[in-house]
Amino acid sequence: MTESVSGPDRDFVRPGQGLGLMDVLRRRYLLSLLIRKEVQIRYRGSILGWLWSYVKPAAQFLVFFLALGVFLQLNGSIENYPIYLFSGLIVINLFNEAFGNSTRSLVDNGALIKKIYLPRELFPVSSTIVALVNFLPQLVILIVVCLVIGWDPTIPQLGGTLLGIAIITTLAIGLGMLFGAANVSFRDSQNFVDLIIMVATWASPVLYQWTQVAKIVPDWVFFIYQVNPLTAAVNLLHAGFWYPTTEGRGLLAPNLWLFGLLGLAISLAVLTIGQLVFRRLEGRFAQDL
Protein backbone atom coordinates (compact mmCIF):
# COMPACT_ATOMS: atom_id res chain seq x y z
CA MET A 1 0.00 0.00 0.00
CA THR A 2 2.75 2.42 0.87
CA GLU A 3 6.32 2.66 -0.09
CA SER A 4 9.19 1.98 2.25
CA VAL A 5 11.30 5.08 2.39
CA SER A 6 14.33 6.23 4.26
CA GLY A 7 12.41 6.69 7.48
CA PRO A 8 13.74 5.89 10.91
CA ASP A 9 14.05 2.30 9.68
CA ARG A 10 12.67 0.23 6.89
CA ASP A 11 9.44 -0.75 8.66
CA PHE A 12 8.30 2.83 8.52
CA VAL A 13 6.39 4.25 5.62
CA ARG A 14 5.25 7.69 4.67
CA PRO A 15 1.47 7.39 4.60
CA GLY A 16 -0.10 8.29 1.29
CA GLN A 17 3.02 7.86 -0.81
CA GLY A 18 2.51 4.75 -2.83
CA LEU A 19 4.04 3.15 -5.86
CA GLY A 20 1.41 4.42 -8.27
CA LEU A 21 0.29 1.89 -10.84
CA MET A 22 2.30 -0.83 -9.10
CA ASP A 23 -0.01 -0.46 -6.11
CA VAL A 24 -2.99 -1.07 -8.37
CA LEU A 25 -1.51 -4.46 -9.23
CA ARG A 26 -1.07 -5.20 -5.55
CA ARG A 27 -4.67 -4.36 -4.82
CA ARG A 28 -6.19 -6.44 -7.55
CA TYR A 29 -8.99 -7.59 -5.28
CA LEU A 30 -10.15 -4.05 -4.62
CA LEU A 31 -9.75 -3.29 -8.33
CA SER A 32 -11.97 -6.25 -9.21
CA LEU A 33 -14.64 -5.10 -6.75
CA LEU A 34 -14.56 -1.55 -8.11
CA ILE A 35 -14.98 -2.87 -11.64
CA ARG A 36 -17.80 -5.18 -10.60
CA LYS A 37 -19.52 -2.30 -8.84
CA GLU A 38 -19.36 -0.08 -11.92
CA VAL A 39 -20.60 -2.84 -14.17
CA GLN A 40 -23.43 -3.68 -11.80
CA ILE A 41 -24.72 -0.19 -11.24
CA ARG A 42 -24.24 1.04 -14.76
CA TYR A 43 -27.72 0.33 -16.02
CA ARG A 44 -29.43 -0.18 -12.69
CA GLY A 45 -32.92 1.20 -12.71
CA SER A 46 -33.30 1.00 -16.47
CA ILE A 47 -35.65 -1.42 -18.20
CA LEU A 48 -33.41 -2.29 -21.11
CA GLY A 49 -30.40 -2.57 -18.80
CA TRP A 50 -27.40 -4.02 -20.55
CA LEU A 51 -29.22 -3.96 -23.87
CA TRP A 52 -28.27 -0.30 -23.94
CA SER A 53 -24.68 -1.26 -24.61
CA TYR A 54 -25.95 -2.85 -27.83
CA VAL A 55 -28.56 -0.25 -28.72
CA LYS A 56 -26.16 2.69 -28.63
CA PRO A 57 -23.45 1.31 -30.92
CA ALA A 58 -26.12 -0.16 -33.18
CA ALA A 59 -27.78 3.24 -33.64
CA GLN A 60 -24.43 4.92 -34.17
CA PHE A 61 -23.45 2.30 -36.71
CA LEU A 62 -26.73 2.74 -38.56
CA VAL A 63 -26.36 6.52 -38.73
CA PHE A 64 -22.82 6.37 -40.09
CA PHE A 65 -23.67 3.53 -42.43
CA LEU A 66 -26.59 5.43 -43.95
CA ALA A 67 -24.83 8.79 -44.13
CA LEU A 68 -21.42 7.65 -45.28
CA GLY A 69 -21.98 4.23 -46.74
CA VAL A 70 -25.19 4.91 -48.63
CA PHE A 71 -25.43 8.65 -49.21
CA LEU A 72 -21.73 9.31 -49.71
CA GLN A 73 -21.43 5.94 -51.43
CA LEU A 74 -18.42 4.60 -49.49
CA ASN A 75 -20.28 1.31 -49.74
CA GLY A 76 -19.20 1.13 -53.35
CA SER A 77 -15.58 2.21 -52.94
CA ILE A 78 -14.70 0.27 -49.78
CA GLU A 79 -15.05 -3.50 -49.89
CA ASN A 80 -17.41 -4.84 -47.17
CA TYR A 81 -17.91 -1.34 -45.81
CA PRO A 82 -20.23 -2.38 -42.93
CA ILE A 83 -17.50 -4.61 -41.44
CA TYR A 84 -14.89 -1.94 -42.09
CA LEU A 85 -17.00 0.65 -40.36
CA PHE A 86 -18.03 -1.50 -37.40
CA SER A 87 -14.56 -2.88 -36.62
CA GLY A 88 -13.10 0.64 -36.52
CA LEU A 89 -16.06 2.13 -34.71
CA ILE A 90 -16.05 -0.27 -31.77
CA VAL A 91 -12.36 0.24 -31.10
CA ILE A 92 -12.59 4.02 -31.28
CA ASN A 93 -15.63 3.87 -29.01
CA LEU A 94 -13.57 1.83 -26.58
CA PHE A 95 -10.98 4.59 -26.55
CA ASN A 96 -13.56 7.35 -26.19
CA GLU A 97 -15.38 5.69 -23.33
CA ALA A 98 -12.21 4.64 -21.50
CA PHE A 99 -10.57 8.05 -21.87
CA GLY A 100 -13.70 10.05 -21.03
CA ASN A 101 -14.59 7.95 -17.99
CA SER A 102 -11.08 7.82 -16.58
CA THR A 103 -10.80 11.59 -16.88
CA ARG A 104 -13.97 11.96 -14.81
CA SER A 105 -13.22 9.09 -12.43
CA LEU A 106 -11.29 11.11 -9.85
CA VAL A 107 -13.90 13.83 -9.52
CA ASP A 108 -16.66 11.20 -9.45
CA ASN A 109 -14.94 9.40 -6.58
CA GLY A 110 -14.06 12.63 -4.79
CA ALA A 111 -15.97 11.71 -1.63
CA LEU A 112 -13.80 8.64 -1.20
CA ILE A 113 -10.50 10.25 -2.16
CA LYS A 114 -11.03 12.99 0.39
CA LYS A 115 -11.58 10.61 3.25
CA ILE A 116 -9.62 7.42 2.81
CA TYR A 117 -6.19 6.89 1.33
CA LEU A 118 -6.05 4.33 -1.43
CA PRO A 119 -3.96 4.27 -4.58
CA ARG A 120 -5.85 6.82 -6.66
CA GLU A 121 -4.63 5.27 -9.90
CA LEU A 122 -7.27 2.65 -9.19
CA PHE A 123 -9.96 4.93 -10.55
CA PRO A 124 -8.66 5.62 -14.07
CA VAL A 125 -7.56 2.00 -14.37
CA SER A 126 -10.92 0.60 -13.29
CA SER A 127 -12.79 3.01 -15.58
CA THR A 128 -10.74 1.80 -18.50
CA ILE A 129 -11.33 -1.85 -17.65
CA VAL A 130 -15.07 -1.19 -17.33
CA ALA A 131 -14.97 0.28 -20.85
CA LEU A 132 -13.19 -2.88 -21.96
CA VAL A 133 -15.95 -4.99 -20.40
CA ASN A 134 -18.48 -2.91 -22.31
CA PHE A 135 -16.47 -3.42 -25.49
CA LEU A 136 -16.53 -7.21 -25.32
CA PRO A 137 -20.15 -7.81 -26.37
CA GLN A 138 -19.58 -5.55 -29.38
CA LEU A 139 -16.48 -7.53 -30.24
CA VAL A 140 -18.51 -10.72 -30.02
CA ILE A 141 -21.07 -9.32 -32.47
CA LEU A 142 -18.27 -8.35 -34.84
CA ILE A 143 -16.78 -11.83 -34.68
CA VAL A 144 -20.16 -13.47 -35.26
CA VAL A 145 -20.87 -11.27 -38.29
CA CYS A 146 -17.38 -11.91 -39.66
CA LEU A 147 -17.85 -15.66 -39.27
CA VAL A 148 -21.19 -15.54 -41.04
CA ILE A 149 -19.68 -13.66 -43.98
CA GLY A 150 -16.64 -15.90 -44.14
CA TRP A 151 -13.71 -14.93 -41.99
CA ASP A 152 -10.41 -16.73 -42.12
CA PRO A 153 -7.82 -14.71 -40.22
CA THR A 154 -4.20 -15.71 -39.81
CA ILE A 155 -2.53 -15.87 -36.41
CA PRO A 156 -0.50 -12.65 -37.00
CA GLN A 157 -3.71 -10.86 -37.96
CA LEU A 158 -5.35 -11.94 -34.72
CA GLY A 159 -2.21 -10.97 -32.81
CA GLY A 160 -2.46 -7.57 -34.47
CA THR A 161 -5.98 -7.01 -33.10
CA LEU A 162 -4.69 -7.75 -29.60
CA LEU A 163 -1.88 -5.26 -30.16
CA GLY A 164 -4.47 -2.72 -31.30
CA ILE A 165 -6.54 -3.20 -28.15
CA ALA A 166 -3.39 -3.01 -26.02
CA ILE A 167 -2.50 0.32 -27.66
CA ILE A 168 -5.98 1.71 -27.00
CA THR A 169 -6.15 0.68 -23.33
CA THR A 170 -2.61 1.82 -22.52
CA LEU A 171 -3.21 5.15 -24.20
CA ALA A 172 -6.58 5.61 -22.49
CA ILE A 173 -5.15 4.93 -19.01
CA GLY A 174 -2.19 7.24 -19.66
CA LEU A 175 -4.27 10.10 -21.03
CA GLY A 176 -6.96 9.44 -18.42
CA MET A 177 -4.43 9.86 -15.60
CA LEU A 178 -3.03 13.00 -17.19
CA PHE A 179 -6.33 14.75 -17.85
CA GLY A 180 -8.05 13.25 -14.81
CA ALA A 181 -5.39 14.67 -12.49
CA ALA A 182 -5.69 18.07 -14.17
CA ASN A 183 -9.48 17.82 -13.94
CA VAL A 184 -9.32 17.82 -10.14
CA SER A 185 -8.14 21.44 -10.11
CA PHE A 186 -9.55 22.66 -13.40
CA ARG A 187 -12.77 21.21 -14.73
CA ASP A 188 -11.85 22.64 -18.12
CA SER A 189 -9.97 19.43 -18.53
CA GLN A 190 -13.04 17.26 -19.06
CA ASN A 191 -14.43 19.61 -21.68
CA PHE A 192 -11.11 19.54 -23.44
CA VAL A 193 -11.26 15.76 -23.37
CA ASP A 194 -14.73 15.84 -24.94
CA LEU A 195 -13.17 17.85 -27.73
CA ILE A 196 -10.35 15.35 -28.21
CA ILE A 197 -12.86 12.52 -28.28
CA MET A 198 -14.89 14.26 -30.96
CA VAL A 199 -11.80 14.73 -33.11
CA ALA A 200 -10.45 11.22 -32.43
CA THR A 201 -13.20 9.53 -34.41
CA TRP A 202 -12.34 11.54 -37.49
CA ALA A 203 -8.56 11.68 -37.07
CA SER A 204 -8.19 7.98 -37.74
CA PRO A 205 -9.50 5.90 -40.66
CA VAL A 206 -12.69 4.75 -38.96
CA LEU A 207 -15.30 6.13 -41.32
CA TYR A 208 -13.21 6.49 -44.47
CA GLN A 209 -10.16 4.76 -45.87
CA TRP A 210 -6.52 5.76 -45.33
CA THR A 211 -6.01 6.05 -49.11
CA GLN A 212 -8.37 9.02 -49.17
CA VAL A 213 -6.03 10.84 -46.78
CA ALA A 214 -2.83 9.74 -48.48
CA LYS A 215 -4.14 11.00 -51.83
CA ILE A 216 -4.62 14.55 -50.62
CA VAL A 217 -2.16 15.46 -47.87
CA PRO A 218 1.64 15.82 -48.26
CA ASP A 219 3.76 12.86 -47.21
CA TRP A 220 4.89 14.33 -43.95
CA VAL A 221 1.30 15.00 -42.86
CA PHE A 222 0.36 11.45 -43.77
CA PHE A 223 3.29 10.24 -41.72
CA ILE A 224 1.99 12.11 -38.66
CA TYR A 225 -1.46 10.71 -39.39
CA GLN A 226 -0.02 7.21 -39.28
CA VAL A 227 2.03 7.83 -36.14
CA ASN A 228 -1.20 8.57 -34.25
CA PRO A 229 -1.56 5.45 -32.08
CA LEU A 230 -5.32 5.47 -32.72
CA THR A 231 -4.72 5.19 -36.47
CA ALA A 232 -2.37 2.28 -35.84
CA ALA A 233 -4.92 0.54 -33.62
CA VAL A 234 -7.80 1.05 -36.05
CA ASN A 235 -5.66 -0.23 -38.92
CA LEU A 236 -4.70 -3.31 -36.92
CA LEU A 237 -8.37 -4.03 -36.19
CA HIS A 238 -9.16 -3.65 -39.88
CA ALA A 239 -6.35 -6.05 -40.69
CA GLY A 240 -7.69 -8.59 -38.22
CA PHE A 241 -11.43 -8.45 -38.92
CA TRP A 242 -12.24 -6.64 -42.11
CA TYR A 243 -9.36 -7.63 -44.41
CA PRO A 244 -9.79 -11.42 -44.00
CA THR A 245 -13.44 -11.07 -45.11
CA THR A 246 -12.56 -9.32 -48.39
CA GLU A 247 -10.71 -12.26 -49.96
CA GLY A 248 -7.67 -10.09 -50.51
CA ARG A 249 -9.54 -7.31 -52.30
CA GLY A 250 -9.27 -4.91 -49.37
CA LEU A 251 -6.44 -2.43 -49.27
CA LEU A 252 -4.45 -2.45 -46.04
CA ALA A 253 -2.39 0.46 -44.78
CA PRO A 254 1.38 0.03 -45.26
CA ASN A 255 3.78 -0.89 -42.44
CA LEU A 256 1.03 -2.07 -40.08
CA TRP A 257 3.36 -3.74 -37.61
CA LEU A 258 5.90 -0.94 -37.64
CA PHE A 259 3.29 1.69 -36.85
CA GLY A 260 1.57 -0.71 -34.44
CA LEU A 261 4.70 -1.16 -32.37
CA LEU A 262 5.46 2.54 -32.62
CA GLY A 263 1.90 3.23 -31.44
CA LEU A 264 2.42 0.95 -28.46
CA ALA A 265 5.71 2.70 -27.66
CA ILE A 266 4.00 6.10 -27.83
CA SER A 267 1.16 4.84 -25.64
CA LEU A 268 3.64 3.54 -23.07
CA ALA A 269 5.42 6.92 -23.12
CA VAL A 270 2.05 8.65 -22.57
CA LEU A 271 1.35 6.23 -19.72
CA THR A 272 4.69 7.13 -18.12
CA ILE A 273 4.08 10.85 -18.50
CA GLY A 274 0.54 10.39 -17.18
CA GLN A 275 1.84 8.56 -14.13
CA LEU A 276 4.50 11.21 -13.44
CA VAL A 277 2.05 14.10 -13.72
CA PHE A 278 -0.47 12.17 -11.64
CA ARG A 279 2.12 11.69 -8.89
CA ARG A 280 2.95 15.37 -8.92
CA LEU A 281 -0.63 16.52 -8.66
CA GLU A 282 -1.86 13.74 -6.38
CA GLY A 283 -0.82 15.53 -3.20
CA ARG A 284 -3.46 18.16 -3.86
CA PHE A 285 -6.34 15.83 -4.73
CA ALA A 286 -7.83 15.62 -1.24
CA GLN A 287 -7.71 19.41 -0.91
CA ASP A 288 -9.01 20.37 -4.32
CA LEU A 289 -11.86 17.94 -4.75
**Sites of contact with another protein (CB under 8 A):** 1-2, 7-9, 11-17, 26-27, 29-30, 33-34, 37, 40-41, 44-45, 111-118, 185-188, 283, 286-288
Report the distance separating Cα 272 and Cα 277, nearest Å.
9
Name which of 156 and 283 has its Cβ closer to another protein: 283
Say which amino acid occupies 158: L
Name which of 7 and 254 has its Cβ closer to another protein: 7
Task: Note whether 182 and 189 are within 8 A (CB).
Answer: yes
Name which of 40 and 218 has its Cβ closer to another protein: 40
Name which of 182 and 232 has its Cβ closer to another protein: 182
Name which of 45 and 218 has its Cβ closer to another protein: 45
**Shortest Cβ distance from residue 169 to another protein (Å)?**
23
**Shortest Cβ distance from residue 9 to another protein (Å)?**
7
**Shortest Cβ distance from residue 22 to another protein (Å)?**
13
Report the distance separating Cα 103 and Cα 277, nearest Å.
13
Distance from the first to the final alpha carbon of the chain: 22
Name which of 16 and 159 has its Cβ closer to another protein: 16
Name which of 1 and 66 has its Cβ closer to another protein: 1
**Shortest Cβ distance from residue 171 to another protein (Å)?**
25
**Shortest Cβ distance from residue 15 to another protein (Å)?**
3
Report the distance separating Cα 147 and Cα 285, nearest Å.
48
Q: Which residues make Cβ contacts (< 8 Å) with residue 249, sequence separation at least 6? A: 79
- Residue 102's nearest CA partner among 183, 215, 160 is 183
**Shortest Cβ distance from residue 88 to another protein (Å)?**
33
Per-residue burial over 25-62, b = 16 or more CB atoms within 10 Å of its CB, e = otherwise: eebeeebeebbeebeeeeeeeeeeeeeebeeebeebbe
Dihedral over alpha carbons 6, 7, 9, 15 (to 10 degrees): -110
- Residue 195's nearest CA partner among 96, 266, 123, 98 is 96
**Shortest Cβ distance from residue 29 to another protein (Å)?**
5
